[in-house]
Amino acid sequence: MFKKNLSLALAGSLFFMQLGAQSVSAKSKAEKETVFAAKVKASVAKLGVGKEARITVKLRDKTRVSGYISQADEDSFVITDIKTGATTEVTYNDVTQAKGHNFSTGVTIALAVTVAVLVTLLVIGILISTNS
């Protein structure tokens, strides 16, 4: 008798827990697009503006645009083709994929490594010449 009452109590509590639980739904397509547009906007802001801020984007209409970011606004940014100089205004919502290349960061790292190596070689050269 005790086992029967215990199983009924457990089943009842599970049933009421199920009624009280909030359903979890995935984000809607519009919400996902808004979040992705915000990420693209942050990436464009991080890359900056100028010939060093190179970017390649794939748009919703399946076209690809590449070049450098020549202007960045609140709702859109402008990509200038490196070879032709043609400009294309792209809204953040139209982007489905973005790949940016900020060469100034790579150049900065390369210069820092070069300076570190040269300083190390200079110190080694001074130590060797003082010991001779």
Long-range contacts, 20-28 (Cβ 8 Å, 24+): none
CB within 8 Å of 44: residues ≥ 6 apart = 55, 69, 72, 77, 92, 98, 100
Instruction: Note the pLDDT tens digit of each residue in 92-119.
Output: 999 988 888 765 556 667 777 787 887 8
Q: Which backbone phi and psi does 102 adopt, to 5 degrees?
A: -105, 95
Q: What is the pLDDT of residue 115?
A: 79
Instruction: Note the pLDDT tens digit of each residue in 17-60.
Output: 666 655 555 678 788 888 888 888 888 888 888 888 899 999 99
The domain locations on the chain are 27-102
What are the Cα distances from residue 132, in Å, to 100, 118, 126, 128?
52, 21, 10, 6
Decide if domain 27-102 falls under CATH 2.30.30.100: yes
Q: What is the pLDDT of residue 56?
A: 92
